[in-house]
Amino acid sequence: MNMPIVDARGLEPPEPFEHAMEALANLQAGEQFTLLLDRMPHPLLRLLERDGYRHDVSFRDDGCVAILIGRP
């Protein structure tokens, strides 16, 4: 099974946050997805921390922020 990718690059706020929230709402226990963004989403990271989602931030060579997000 391929892991879903939510590509929110090139979108203006609050669209990237809205796309991430939609993907989170559809995430089942044990599932994960990758979120691609142009910048570090500090409000989203605070929400993920608060709500107990697993997440791992990495920076791609093209300057994109990639966040692997999983529901425990």
**Per residue in 3-62, pLDDT tens?**
899 999 999 999 999 999 999 999 999 999 999 999 999 999 999 999 999 999 999 999
Number of independent structural domains in the chain: 1
Model pTM?
0.93
The domain in which residue 27 lies consists of 5-70
Buried b / exposed e across 3-40, counting CB within 10 Å, b at 16+?
A: eeebebeeeeeeebbebbeebbeebeeeeebbbbbeee
Tokens at residue 24, please? 């989170």
Positive or negative, the CA dihedral 35, 13, 60, 50 is: negative
Whole-number Å distance between alpha carbons of 62 and 21: 25
Tokens at residue 14, please? 């609050």
CATH number at residue 29: 3.30.110.40
